[in-house]
Copies of this chain bind each other. A is one copy, B any other.
Amino acid sequence: MQSRTPASRTGRPRSAAADTAILAATREALVELGWSKLTLGDVATRAGVAKTTLYRRWAGKNELVVDAVAELFDELELPDRGSLAADIEGVVLQFAAILVRPEAKSGLMAVVAESTRDDALRERIRASIVERQMCLVLEGRARAQLRGELPPEPDPEESARTVDLIFDMVAGAVVHRTLVSGKAADAEWVRDFTRVLLLGLTGAAREA
């Protein structure tokens, strides 16, 4: 997670319970205070932990919040709902359900904003949050190809471009709907969105 495994074998081991408590406290503080008013001292107090313990494990607020928020996305799954459309609708609804939770709302955009000036942070976000979502896109496409709903991709390079495009379109639309427009990504919206997306994708695939 955050530890770079300092390869120390001797000495007292770090308390595993502390990690859990700190991340939970971070989410709790995000809900109550939001990103900008969240302070590491407060998180430490909530977690019943000294501030030094916290700094020993995370470099700062950004890294801590990334880890705390990342755990929220662990619950994303892609159960087989029988069709590509149903699969997409299912995962988008799951994704939207996470985004409306205040601990995600407050923290996610903020760390993304910070990551525009901090490459290490961006990489951390990519690895612990974005990567997981990207896997779902790949998995969904593979499943659709098995079903015959999508043709097998001819060119691996173009394939990667398409996956990137789909990912940005899906994630971007849900995030924008939820956090910028401030409206719920409810079942109706998700249905409309999925229809447009799928028609576009199949149409583009037919053209090629």
Contact = CB atoms under 8 A, between A and B. Distances in A.
Interface of A: 34-36, 102, 105-106, 108-110, 112-114, 116-117, 122, 125-126, 130, 161-162, 164-165, 167-169, 171-177, 179-183, 189, 192-193, 195-201, 203-204, 207
Contacts of A167: 181
Contacts of A34: 114, 116-117
Contact of A203 (B35, B183, B193, B203): B203
Given A164-B181, A164-B183, A176-B176, 12 more contacts: A35-B113, A106-B117, A109-B113, A110-B110, A110-B113, A130-B180, A164-B177, A165-B192, A168-B181, A199-B200, A199-B204, A200-B201
10 contacts: A34-B116, A36-B114, A102-B116, A109-B110, A109-B112, A162-B192, A165-B192, A169-B193, A169-B196, A196-B201
Nearest to A130: B180
A204 B165 CA distance: 20
Contacts of A169: 169, 172-173, 176, 193, 196
Given A34-B116, A34-B117, A201-B196, A171 B165 contact: no
Contacts of A36: 113-114
A176 B180 contact: no
Question: What is the count of identical protomers in the complex?
Answer: 4
Closest 8 CB pairs of A and B: A200-B200, A172-B176, A172-B172, A199-B203, A109-B113, A196-B200, A110-B113, A34-B117
Nearest to A169: B173
A116 B112 contact: no
A45 to B, nearest CB: 15
A112 B172 contact: no
Nearest to A108: B113
A50 to B, nearest CB: 10
